[in-house]
């Protein structure tokens, strides 16, 4: 199958997990894949597998939470290939500190930079090439947390991923006149290395029931191979066994001692029968 033959696809966060699987799938479909992430050794390993399988891959490292990195990589793509057909904004991360009591300015900046700013910077950098070509496709990895607020992912990640959803829809509102399409994908839990940065450890059994990177790669391939007149605006996807329905994985809230004491007193009062008044 070579339905993307001749096209150039830029995949961010391509060194592992969803990005790795997506890059390999798009290369299998015939696209030349540009791989970006922070760790060169991971990207080189993915590129080697793609080339060994008969595909084409090019590695460009960079910290995409910095606008200059996105601009530099797109300029290099333009010089080398003269086109950019698909951008998969998949770079992202989370931190262990996921409650308001633990938040710091530094952790907020890191999560927003990796998940939201990077998607903006890459889109801004890529759009001029796509406008020049009269078309293009942007695919953004948001999250179940980009549609549903819970304590599992933490306030910063949730806010950033909600913003990615809004960003994608706003792209379609303006760029459709240039033949450019934007798709945002909101997956529930996916068995990727990011699970290792959970406050509550995830068991092997639970990981096996989750969405797998190959599932997201197949979805991205479906979107990428749709006819140019078709825009898949948003996809909400989850495993059949969706732990969020059970509230699993969410860390408990430690109530302040004063609040706990008040709750106990209220419970005792509720349990004591009211005295009958004498008339």
Active site positions, annotated: 157
Q: Which of 140, 117, 24, 139 minimizes the C-alpha distance to 70?
A: 117
Q: What is the dihedral of CA 151, 153, 156, 159, to 10 degrees?
A: -90
| Alpha helices per DSSP H over 11-117 | 17-28, 40-52, 67-81, 105-112
Residue 269: how many CB atoms within 10 A of its CB?
9
Phi, psi of 139 (to 5 degrees): -125, 125
Q: Which of 200, 209, 192 minimizes the C-alpha distance to 154?
A: 200
As given in the structure block, the two tokens for residue 193 are: 């290395």
Phi, psi of 75 (to 5 degrees): -60, -40
Residue 18: C-alpha distances to residues 90, 190, 268 (Å): 8, 8, 52
């Amino acid at each position: 199958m070579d339905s993307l033959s001749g096209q150039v696809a830029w995949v961010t966060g391509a060194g592992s997990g969803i990005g790795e699987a997506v890059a390999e799938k798009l290369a299998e479909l015939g696209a030349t894949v540009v791989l970006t992430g922070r760790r060169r050794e991971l990207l080189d390993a993915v590129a080697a597998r793609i080339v060994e399988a008969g595909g084409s891959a090019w590695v460009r490292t960079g910290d995409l939470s910095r606008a200059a990195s996105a601009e530099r990589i797109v300029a290099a793509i333009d010089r080398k290939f003269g086109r950019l057909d698909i951008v998969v904004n998949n770079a992202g991360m989370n931190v262990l500190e996921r409650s308001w009591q633990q938040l710091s300015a530094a952790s907020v900046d890191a999560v927003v930079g990796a998940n939201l700013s990077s998607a903006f910077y890459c889109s801004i950098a890529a759009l001029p090439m796509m406008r020049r070509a009269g078309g293009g496709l942007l695919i953004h990895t948001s999250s179940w947390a980009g549609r549903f607020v819970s304590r599992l992912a933490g306030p910063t990640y949730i806010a950033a991923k909600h913003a990615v959803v809004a960003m994608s829809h706003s792209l379609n509102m303006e760029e459709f006149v240039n033949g450019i399409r934007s798709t945002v994908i909101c997956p529930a839990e996916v068995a990727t290395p990011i699970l290792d940065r959970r406050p509550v450890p995830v068991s092997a059994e639970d990981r096996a029931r989750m969405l797998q990177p190959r599932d997201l790669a197949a979805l991205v391939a479906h979107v990428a191979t749709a006819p140019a007149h078709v825009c898949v605006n948003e996809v909400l996807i989850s495993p059949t066994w969706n732990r969020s329905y059970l509230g699993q994985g969410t860390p408990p809230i430690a109530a302040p001692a004063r609040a706990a004491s008040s709750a106990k007193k209220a419970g005792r009062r509720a349990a004591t029968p009211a005295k009958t008044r004498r008339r």
